[in-house]
């Protein structure tokens, strides 16, 4: 039965369309009114979405790149390769489902707890001045630096058996080397502040380097993660080596060595829009709370979640106001459409009586007008949003929108 009814409607529909064309003078006001009604109601929604995008863009512009990125930091010890690998896999796997659609790159590094700095033979005086040091690794370091002296010395461990000591070859920043009066070939002692299996570890400066680009995201791990806890009252020199040397050799010397692991999530600003901003803020909060319950001394640093939450709160209050306006507009539009439809019905009384005289039942006559109304509504539903999008886009050229949209089309 349903298929038969649908087939009848399909057969009748071309006739209804021809009737609409014939009666276009009578129905033109209704058609224009319905199209405008759809445009106005669609325009309200489209305009609100445009305002949300503008507000979000303004929030993101107020944050610099480092504030948008997410820095995750966790301390674990004693240090060993298996534990470090497990922790790294946990961070990556947990972030995969929550942040992956917004992350363009994940950078990772690690550093020891801060150690006392001393020169060989002066280890007993370590800690009495303000000189400090720590060992650190940054994967794929070589493309981001230029060696100014020496060699890329983070490739291995030098065993000096004649002196019965192990010397770890390291790279240092040329500026830090100058501050400490160090040159290639010089040795220093890194002394733990706690009692361990060894009293100190000797490191040799195998090379000095300059950063190719100080502002490169790569170095944000050092600036925001490694040096974050370094006090301004201390001179601190990072000693860089390869991750495998760090895990296999350095960690084997200090049995109670703690490592600060750092991950920097490079957030793609363009991936954030008004439809996913709220969900992203919730995911960041959940990501931090969940890992904080699992890891000791866990820290997550970003301004993105707080800014998105403030944005979401402001949008909530704006949304309530816009809904009130939308409801009022809808009632006015519906009243207008009903009034026009009543006038059209009055004008077509003769046509209805003519159909009755030809034997048409009330349901058949009603179905004709229902199909006419559905046809008008269908085309109005297609045209209304398109007109709304075009009109809202052109609002960007009005003087009132110049400051927030630079005189360009509004996003719609």
Domain coordinates in residue numbering, the chain: 2-59+312-405, 66-302
Q: Is 89 exposed, middle or buried (0-12, 13-18, 19+ CB in 10 A)?
A: exposed
CB atoms within 10 A of CB 51: 19
Residues in contact with 83: Cβ distance below 8 Å, sequence separation at least 6, in sequence order:
76
Which pLDDT does position 170 carry in this prediction?
Answer: 92
pLDDT digits (tens, 9 = 90+) for 109-128: 999 999 999 998 888 888 88
Are 238 and 141 a contacting pair, CB within 8 Å?
no
Which pLDDT does position 207 carry in this prediction?
Answer: 92
Are 270 and 54 a contacting pair, CB within 8 Å?
no
Give the largest CA-CA distance in the chain: 121
Which pLDDT does position 161 carry in this prediction?
Answer: 36
pLDDT digits (tens, 9 = 90+) for 258-312: 999 999 999 998 899 888 888 999 999 988 888 888 887 888 889 998 898 888 8
Which pLDDT does position 230 carry in this prediction?
Answer: 52
Considering the entire predicted model, what is its pTM? Answer: 0.73
Mean pLDDT across the chain = 80
Helix (H), strand (E), coil (C) string for the chain: CHHHHHHHHHHHHHHHHHHHHHCHHHHHHHHHHHHHHHHHHHHHHHHHHHHHHHHHHHHHHCCCHHHHCEEEEEEECCCCHHHHHHHHHHHHHHHHHHHHHHEEEEEEEEEECCEEEECCCCHHHCCCCCEEEEEEECCCCHHHEEEEEECCHHHCEEEEHHHCEEEEEEEEEHHHHHHHCCCCCCEEEEECCCCCCCCCEEEEEEEEEEECCCCCHHHHHHHHHHCCCCCCCCEEEEEECCHHHHHHHHHHHCCCCCEEEEEEEEECHHHCCCCCHHHHHHHHHHHHHHHHHHCCCEEEECCHHHHHHHHHHHHHHHHHHHHHHHHHHHHHHHHHHHHHHHHHHHHCHHHHHHHHHCCCCHHHHHHHHHHHHHHHHHHHHHHHHHHHHHHHHHHHHCHHHHHHHCCCCCCC
Please list the pLDDT of the chain residue by residue as tens digits (412 residues): 455 555 655 665 666 666 666 666 666 777 777 787 788 777 777 777 777 888 888 888 888 888 899 999 988 888 888 888 888 888 888 888 888 889 888 889 999 999 999 998 888 888 888 889 999 999 888 889 999 988 764 444 444 333 445 788 999 999 999 989 999 999 999 999 888 888 899 999 999 999 999 888 888 888 888 875 555 678 899 999 998 889 888 888 888 899 999 999 999 988 998 888 889 999 999 888 888 888 878 888 899 988 988 888 888 777 777 778 778 877 877 787 777 777 766 766 776 676 677 776 677 667 777 777 777 778 888 887 788 777 767 766 666 666 666 656 666 5
CA nearest neighbour of 260 among 70, 73, 71: 73
């Amino acid at each position: 039965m349903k298929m038969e009814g649908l087939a009848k409607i399909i057969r009748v529909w071309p006739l209804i369309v021809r009737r609409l064309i014939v009666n276009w003078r009578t129905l033109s006001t209704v058609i224009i009114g319905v199209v405008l009604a759809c445009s106005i109601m669609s325009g309200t929604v489209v305009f609100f979405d445009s305002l949300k995008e503008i507000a979000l863009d303004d929030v993101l512009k107020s944050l610099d790149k480092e504030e948008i990125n997410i820095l995750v930091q966790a301390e674990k010890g004693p240090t060993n390769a298996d534990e470090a690998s497990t922790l790294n896999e946990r961070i990556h796997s947990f972030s995969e489902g929550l942040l992956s659609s917004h992350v363009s790159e994940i950078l990772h590094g690690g550093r020891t707890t801060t150690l006392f700095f001393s020169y060989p033979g002066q280890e007993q005086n370590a800690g009495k001045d303000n000189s400090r040091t720590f060992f650190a690794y940054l994967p794929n370091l070589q493309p981001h630096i230029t060696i100014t002296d020496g060699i890329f010395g983070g490739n291995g461990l030098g065993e000096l058996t004649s002196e019965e000591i192990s010397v770890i070859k390291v790279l240092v920043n040329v500026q830090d080397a100058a501050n400490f009066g160090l040159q290639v070939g010089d040795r220093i002692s890194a002394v733990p502040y706690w009692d361990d299996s060894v009293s100190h570890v000797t490191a040799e400066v195998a090379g000095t380097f300059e950063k190719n680009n100080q502002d490169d995201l790569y170095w944000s791990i050092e600036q925001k993660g490694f040096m974050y806890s370094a006090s301004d009252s201390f001179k601190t020199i990072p000693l860089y080596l390869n991750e495998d040397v760090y895990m296999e050799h350095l960690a084997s010397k200090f049995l109670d060595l703690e490592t600060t692991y750092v991950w920097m999530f490079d957030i793609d600003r363009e991936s954030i829009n008004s439809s996913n901003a709220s969900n992203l803020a919730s995911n960041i909060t959940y990501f931090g709370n969940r890992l904080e319950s699992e890891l000791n001394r866990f820290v997550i640093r970003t301004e993105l979640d707080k800014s998105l939450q403030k944005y979401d709160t402001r949008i909530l209050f704006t949304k309530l106001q816009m809904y009130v306006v939308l409801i009022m507009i809808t009632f006015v539009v519906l009243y207008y459409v009903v009034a026009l439809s009543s006038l059209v019905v009055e004008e077509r009384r003769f046509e209805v009586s003519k159909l009755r005289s030809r034997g048409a039942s009330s349901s058949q006559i009603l179905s004709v007008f229902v199909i006419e109304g559905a046809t008008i509504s269908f085309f109005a539903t297609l045209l209304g949003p398109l007109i709304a999008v075009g009109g809202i886009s052109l609002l960007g050229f009005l003087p009132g929108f110049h400051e927030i949209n630079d005189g360009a089309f509004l996003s719609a």
